[in-house]
Amino acid sequence: MFPHDRTPSNASPLTSLSSQEDDHSAYASFGSEATCISTRSRGFMNGVKKIMDSSMPLAQLVDQAQELVKMLSSSDQLNRLPPGAPECNLMLDRVLAAMLSSARACGGEGGMRYTASAIYACCYEDNEMTLRYLQSLGTTWVSHLLFVLTGLRDKSHPLFPTSQNQIKTNASHILRRAIAVYDAHDPDSRTSRSALVTLDILRHYASLPEKFVEEIGSIIDDPSNGMTLQYDAHVGFDDFRWSLRAVEGAPNTYRIIYHVGGIGHGLFLPHKEEITFVDSSPKFSQSSSPHKGQGSTRSGNADDEVQNVDQGIPLPDPLFFRIHDALARVLQMSGAAEAIDLVLRRLDIRKPGAILIGADFEDMWTHEMLRENIVSMLQMKVH
């Protein structure tokens, strides 16, 4: 069962992005007593790739991954984010289980194989080492994937009145711009290293081609990664309270999936279960349609390459909705949404357009750990 009898390689799994965090990164051992434990090191990522490329059947990989998740669930000490804010009660086995459960919907068989391989790569003969790697992996998926794509929200902004017959809309990214924050001129910077970890996870989880990572800067602001939404719906979509799931056999048509009850989702479409996107640019002059005739060319399905054929401005790409929907399920199933809300409240960032990276999540928890330790020391002196 043990996949580890290897020396970590120095080769990066992203051949075009060679500046991955190394084994001794300052952020590589967040929350771990053993500084050698890192699921963001080159050695670990190469180990995951080796398992992915092996002949081990997918069903066997999934079975082994599920057993490891059960093993983590039995550890009271390591089955949680590193000690920090006591009110956060995120169990990391739920994060791993939710990622595994939603992997096929996000990235097809490739996404499933990556997720199971990453969990299986945590397995060592030493149970303590195995548990610490599983803790590190769950924390990394929260900090560098779920946290980054959840983004910031301004809770002080009033909701737009819903009683009016007409509403105002604004542009909304399907996948947030935070994933595209990468400085090619300084690949060793803290921001770039963190972004590369996020992109590597997303690329494998959603079965994206390596070219997608290389072109992420131009893709993220493309019309195919956007739509217009009323304010309430925009907030609900950004908070993963609702998502859109493609209807098989109906191009550009999606079923509305609500992830919270009541009116908390913010999307008010009475008696409407599906949404169909239509390009209205032909109604306007050609000068107002700079993208006329281009259309979307990215895959809308992980296993079947489907091309969106539009006559004007590209319609939303099914690929982006699929990723958003899968992450919404992971957030709800794992309970990670509450932990991320806590981080956002503690960071208390209100600057418009502020972008967070995975390392920001770690900074907050490190600060909390230090604060809790100081408080404990002072309390011991008092008593």
Per-residue pLDDT of 157-196, as tens digits, reads 444 444 445 667 888 899 988 777 766 677 778 777 888 8
- pLDDT value of residue 302: 47
- Tens of pLDDT, residue by residue over 109-153, are 999 999 999 999 999 999 999 999 999 999 999 989 998 887 645
Q: Round to whole Å and give the CA distance between 332 and 338.
A: 9
pLDDT at 308 over 70: no
pTM over 0.75: no
Between helix 42-52 and helix 92-120 the angle, nearest 10°, is: 70
According to the 3-state scheme, what is the secondary structure of 282-309?
A: HHCCHHHCCCCCCCCCCCCCCCCCCCCC
Query: Which tokens belong to 19?
Result: 């500046």
The confidence band for 23, taking pLDDT boundaries of 50, 70 and 90, is very low
Q: Round to whole Å and give the CA distance between 48 and 149.
A: 23
The residue to which tokens 């409240």 are assigned:
345
β-strand 242-246 against 253-258: which pairing, if any? Answer: antiparallel
Phi, psi values for residue 283, rounded to 5°? -75, -20
- pLDDT value of residue 203: 92
Q: Round to whole Å and give the CA distance between 134 and 335.
A: 17
For residues 254 and 278, the answer to whether their CB atoms sit within 8 Å is no
Contacts 24+ apart (CB under 8 A), 23-27: 25/193, 27/190, 27/193, 27/194, 27/359, 27/362
Lowest mean pLDDT among 35-49, 151-165, 208-222, 237-251: 151-165
Q: Round to whole Å and give the CA distance between 214 and 347.
A: 30
For residues 265 and 259, the answer to whether their CB atoms sit within 8 Å is yes
The residue to which tokens 């739920």 are assigned:
94
Mean pLDDT of 68-73: 97
Q: Round to whole Å and give the CA distance between 183 and 193.
A: 9
Report which secondary-structure segment, H or E, holds 359: helix 358-382
Decide: helix, strand or coil at residue 173: strand
- Tens of pLDDT, residue by residue over 256-293, are 999 887 777 888 777 789 999 988 777 764 544 444 43
Sequence-ordered list of residues with C-beta below 8 angstroms from that of 45, at least 6 positions apart, any chain: 12, 13, 20, 200
pLDDT at 9 over 80: no
